Amino acid sequence: MKQILRLLPLLLLSVVACQEKELPARLEVGQAAISAESPAGSTKVEFTATRPWTARTDASWCRVIPESGNGGVDAPGILYLIYEENPGHDVRDCVVTLDSGGLSRTISLNQGHRTGILLDTDTYSVSEQAQTLEITIWKTVPVSAETAPEDSDWISIVPGTKAMDRTIFTVSVQQNTSAARDGKIRFRSASQEETVTIHQAASDIKLADPGLNDYCHWAFDEDHDGCLSIDEALMAKELSFWGWISDTKDLHFFPNIESLSCQSGMDFMDLSMLPSLKHLTVSGAIKGIDISKNDQLETLTLSMTGIPALDLDGKELLRFLRLEGNLELTRLSLSGCRSLTRLESTNSHVLEALDLRDCPDLEYLYLEYNYALGSLLMGRHDRLAEIYCRSNHLQGELDLSGCPSLRALECQSNQLSSLKLDGCTALENLHCYQNRLKSLDISSCTALFQVQATANEIDTFVAGHHPELVWLMIGQNRLSSVSIDGFPNLLTLSIEANQLTSLDITGARKLQTLYCGNNQLTSLTVKDCPELYLLDANFNRLSHADIRDNPYLRDVAVCSNRFQSFSMPGCAGVEKLVINSNLLKEIDLSGYPRLGELNCSQNNLEVLDPSPCVYLTDLYCEDNSLSSLDLTRNARCHFIRCFNNPNLRTVLLIEGHSYQIEYDQSVTTLVYQ
């Protein structure tokens, strides 16, 4: 009995199990088709399954919860379908499959398409060029389209073409002339707004000349994006490229350039596309240049070109013109250049004539080494202050009477025969040496500071009162007389190599140097000149000279004259005396205690006593008739030249001193004491 009681629970379980196995498999779905709107959401599905079950979907945008269960008859099963938003413009379907006890049922979920506005893409990228593009939208409601106000200057919309629920809008995009940019187009319905962004690439100018292209990208890429935009090119004001430009056609990208500096490798240079050009510098062997349309031009520099003619007529704003080494330039026309203030032309070897009469505002004129330039026509130039026209081929007369403000004139090394300076009251510096001037009239040039008129053919020199004149160089001419009465502050007077026979320089209180050698002087008076430092009267015909009371005189040269005796009372400061090649038989040196160098060679001296000259260092006394020479009191003397004195038997020197002495060893004996 007890054994039966122990087995009773097991028997009951077996009975229940046999009863469950015997339940028939049943699977029923309450709703086999479900519809949903496009927004994300969920829906509940009831079903009955007497056996364990599983559920699955065939779409990633829909999932089921739960995915499995035990089934039964006591309560219906419940599934939740969780679906995502439908972003598309088409409806879509999802099939949910239930499996249980070998049975299968399906539930169809149909989700509607999105309502309102749907974009294929919200971003379009386009090049910098002007173009059109199509934007397709899908809609279920009325839609309007507009460009963002800030972008309306470069994006415009053409009304859309409709096809069922699709509309195509044609968008016009203007050329981009600057950096990359983004524009917005807004599509609106009553309850929705969608935005399309149009990204347009930056413009990038590519110049035909590789070197110029690289330079312009470096110089004008303001936003450093690696592109040269049209706007950046339009902002460019100055282009300084010292590589060789081989093509200027692309300069039209830079119409606002005001300053251009370059080397040209072309035969012809056309700059007509630069209407704003004010400053131009070009070097290189170009043979022609078109600047006829550059009416704003203010400065022009041409260097080392092959241009044969330059026509600047009518360039009313031109202020500065520089021409350097233009070896083929034969003609330069400046008619109407009334604003020109500075003109420079150097090494234009074949330029023959220059007419400046129509350039009234000239202030500075620099014409040098234009070896064919024979004619220079000047007019009225009230502001002209400086003229430098040396080393040309100027001939005939140079008339500067219309230049009242002229301060400096350098016209040396030409072939001028006449120089007209009437009215040049401001002239301070005059250099007209090495010409063929026959006369020189500086009487109206009262402000003169220095005059250099050496090496002409001047036989008439007209001067007035010139209180500022300190330097007068008028040597190598044909003057027979000179007066310095009108030059109270003269420091230097050079009148060597003229035809003077007499000269009186008395009381010249400021005079420091006097050159009057190589004349025909038979009479010379130089006295009461307290500042006189140097006197050169070599190569004249002087047998006597009145040189006295010049206490500051240090250097005296009177060689190659006819002196038999020579003295300069009141000139005790003389340190150097050159009196060789005269007829001296004796010379008294007692009046020159500071004498350091004496050249008395090539005279007829029989006696020479240098003992008063304790500062003597150099003595030249060769080619005389000396019989003795005592230098034992001249402790500073170290150089002696005394050969060709046939009677000179002994030269007395100081024992232990070092000498450099040139003498005839066969005749003269050196004795040290």
pLDDT tens digits, residue range 181-218?
888 888 787 667 878 898 877 777 888 888 888 888 89
Angstrom distances, CA of residue 470 to CA of 39, 422, 487, 493, 637: 107, 21, 8, 8, 37
In this prediction, residue 73 has a pLDDT band, given cuts at 50, 70 and 90, of low
Q: Which strand (E) or helix (H) includes residue 4?
A: helix 2-21
Which pLDDT tens digit goes with each residue over 26-58?
A: 888 878 888 888 788 888 888 888 888 898 999
**Across 204-213, 278-287, 559-568, least confident range:** 204-213
The answer to whether residue 538 scores a pLDDT higher than 80 is: yes
Instruction: Provide mean pLDDT across the span 641-660.
Output: 95
Residue 12, helix vs strand vs coil: helix
Which pLDDT tens digit goes with each residue over 353-386?
A: 999 999 999 999 999 999 999 999 999 999 999 9
The answer to whether residue 409 scores a pLDDT higher than 70 is: yes
What is residue 16's predicted lDDT score, i.e. its pLDDT? 42
117-200 maps to which CATH number?
A: 2.60.40.10
What distance, in Å, lies between the first and last C-alpha atoms of the chain?
178
Angstrom distances, CA of residue 571 to CA of 126, 154, 448, 528, 574: 99, 96, 31, 10, 6
The answer to whether residue 18 scores a pLDDT higher than 50 is: no
What is residue 161's predicted lDDT score, i.e. its pLDDT? 58
Distance CA 520, CA 517 (A): 9
Integer-rounded Cα radius of gyration of the chain: 56
The answer to whether residue 349 scores a pLDDT higher than 60 is: yes
The residues spanned by each domain of the chain are: 22-111, 117-200, 210-279
Distance CA 426, CA 414 (A): 23
What is residue 164's predicted lDDT score, i.e. its pLDDT? 46
Between 321 and 81, whose confidence is greater? 321
Instruction: Provide mean pLDDT across the span 332-355.
Output: 94
The answer to whether residue 529 scores a pLDDT higher than 70 is: yes
What is residue 178's predicted lDDT score, i.e. its pLDDT? 67
Query: What CATH superfamily classification does 22-111 receive?
Result: Immunoglobulins (2.60.40.10)
In this prediction, residue 4 has a pLDDT band, given cuts at 50, 70 and 90, of very low
Dihedral of CA atoms 661, 554, 536, 528 in degrees, nearest 10, equals: -150
What is residue 8's predicted lDDT score, i.e. its pLDDT? 45
Is residue 502 within 8 A of residue 523, CB to CB? The reply is yes
Please state, for a pLDDT cut of 70, what percent of the chain lies above it.
93
The answer to whether residue 497 scores a pLDDT higher than 60 is: yes
Q: How many CA atoms lie within 13 A of 114 on its CB side?
A: 16
With CA atoms as reference, report the closest residue to 262 among 279, 293, 237, 240. 240
What is residue 396's predicted lDDT score, i.e. its pLDDT? 96
With CA atoms as reference, report the closest residue to 638 among 620, 621, 655, 618. 618
Report which residue type is found at 510. Answer: K
Say if 22-111 and 117-200 have the same CATH topology: yes
Q: Which strand (E) or helix (H) includes residue 366?
A: strand 364-368
Distance CA 559, CA 353 (A): 47
Which pLDDT tens digit goes with each residue over 420-458?
A: 999 999 999 999 999 999 999 999 999 999 999 999 999
DSSP string, 68-118: EE---SSS-EEEEEEE----SSS-EEEEEEEEETTEEEEEEEEEPPPPSEE
Q: What is the mean pLDDT of the chain?
A: 89
Please state, for a pLDDT cut of 90, what percent of the chain lies above it.
63
The answer to whether residue 13 scores a pLDDT higher than 50 is: no
| Other beta carbons within 10 Å of 130 | 12
What is residue 89's predicted lDDT score, i.e. its pLDDT? 67
Which pLDDT tens digit goes with each residue over 97-122?
A: 988 888 888 888 888 777 667 777 88
Report which residue type is found at 328. Answer: E
What is residue 12's predicted lDDT score, i.e. its pLDDT? 42
Residue 426, helix vs strand vs coil: coil
What is residue 21's predicted lDDT score, i.e. its pLDDT? 54
Between 644 and 267, whose confidence is greater? 644
